Amino acid sequence: MSAPVPSGLEALLGPGGLITDPQEMAPYVTGWRYGQGRARFVARPATTEAVAALLARCRAEGVRVVPQGANTGLVGASVPDMGGEMAVLSLERLDRLEVDPADRTALAGGGVRLSALNAALAPHGLFFPVDLGADPCVGGMVATNTGGTRLLRYGDVRRNLLGVEVVLADGTVVDALSPLRKNNAGLDWKQLFTGTSGLFGVVTAASLQTAPLPRQVSAALVAVEDGAAALALLLAAEAGLGETLSAFEAMSAEALAPVFRHLPNPFDLVPPYAVLVEASTALPATAFDLEAALQGVLEAHLEAGGPGILDARFGRAEAFWALRHRISESLREEGRVLAFDLSVPRSSLPAFTAEARARVAAAWPWLRVCDFGHWGDGGTHLNLVWREEAAPGDPAGWIPEVQAGLYALAVEGFRGSYSAEHGVGPHNQRSFDRFTPAPVKAAGAALRAHFDPAGILGTARLW
């Protein structure tokens, strides 16, 4: 049974601000992919002042708190543990939103959804260029340093973040919502809270740099014979398209075959890899013909003897992205999925993938490697799919071995990362413990001791 709720919280949080009914709390304690917990209560403050008062009260009474945005994280860091002692601090009612078209910035509350942010920016010809399959909140995007499919062109949240408002664990509010792009006045405060899983403080608002909406988007889907051909195509696309190259996604045959059971295959075969090449620009077609540029780059690559190109299709970007975004859903229909969010240097992607496939085939032959991802920035989603009847025994007995082996291959074998863009949480805690250098852990521990000496924030044990 969960611990009692501190008295007076309803008055502190206002109408609709406190949830204690187990059924109503269920969406807040179940992770998007991993994580299932129990909460003492769910707090939904509507103002920064209410967040501050809540955290001060929780610290005084020793109540641990897990900050939560839209709960779309993929490492279990946004839900409480199973103890029933923790509180969930939902940011969903922190919906402040202001747009400054002249500065090309937005000030967004921690609970503003990415979709709502872009809806407010669109009339001004702007957008926030961190593109995701999910619809997260701004506070969660900062806490996890979200990347996405267009990181190659626009960078991650860290690169587009100008300032933050943070409530520390003792209720102290720090307003550092600077809209400045140039501010070299010492410690970069905002970056202390970016990608640190909410362990140093709760991001209640952020000042964001936005980008002009593209006036032209052109895309091609290119069939290639292997990863080396995909890498060669990437280099040719960057050389020929320059800053207009906005995305470069590689999808293996194993990842795409299930998709083609639901959506049309534009090719006459399922290629070993299909590469989605997207270019975009804010320039009008009268100034620059983007479609002609993309076609010209691919034709030049072929004429120059570009290796391994089997076929190419030009068309609406939305149709090609529909194939890419259907992969995860289609793989779940194939069986159980063990997902890996990895990155290695781009030049190593073909070799890493080949080695990962070989190791899986030799050690865990019941697993099927279905890889796809953001090859333009070195990211790959190395998903493993299996049918329960083909696997030996309880997966809980062999999954840790698979994870440890492939994480070590990426980190130690190819100088990569075990978490390319999903952040760190209970799901990959063991990898943090194993691969993070001791000086980095020590520095993080010192910062956490400063910001949250009682350790009331978060479920991840990073420091």
Contact 102, 80 (CB under 8 A): no
What is the predicted pLDDT for the residue at 442?
95
Fold of 335-414: Alpha-Beta Plaits (3.30.70)
What is the predicted pLDDT for the residue at 427?
83
Q: Per-domain residue ranges for the chain?
A: 9-90, 97-211, 216-326, 335-414
Starting at the edge strand found earlier in the chain, the sheet holding 202-209 runs 97-100, 105-109, 202-209, 161-167, 173-176
Question: Is 463 a residue whose pLDDT tops 70?
Answer: no
For residue range 283-326, list pLDDT tens digits in order: 999 999 999 999 999 999 999 888 999 999 999 999 999 999 99
CA–CA distance from 407 to each of 76, 215, 281, 413 (Å)?
18, 40, 37, 9
Q: Cα–Cα distance between 341 and 215 in angstroms, integer? A: 32
Q: Which CATH architecture has domain 97-211?
A: 2-Layer Sandwich (3.30)
CA angle 248, 77, 86 (to 5 degrees): 160
Beta strands 105-109 and 379-386: pairing type? unpaired
What is the predicted pLDDT for the residue at 102?
97
pLDDT band at 2 (very low <50, low <70, confident <90, very high): low
What is the predicted pLDDT for the residue at 423?
85
Contact 18, 33 (CB under 8 A): no
Segment 137-160 shows an average pLDDT of 94
Nearest to 116 by CA among 94, 101, 100: 94
pLDDT band at 460 (very low <50, low <70, confident <90, very high): low
Segment 52-57 shows an average pLDDT of 96
Segment 141-157 shows an average pLDDT of 93
Contact 99, 123 (CB under 8 A): no
- Domain 216-326 and domain 335-414, same fold? Reply is yes
What is the predicted pLDDT for the residue at 459?
83
| Tokens describing residue 225 | 């014979």
Q: What is the mean pLDDT of the chain?
A: 94
Contact 371, 384 (CB under 8 A): no
For residue range 259-270, list pLDDT tens digits in order: 999 999 999 999
Contact 138, 109 (CB under 8 A): yes
- The CATH class of the 9-90 domain is alpha beta
Fold of 216-326: Alpha-Beta Plaits (3.30.70)
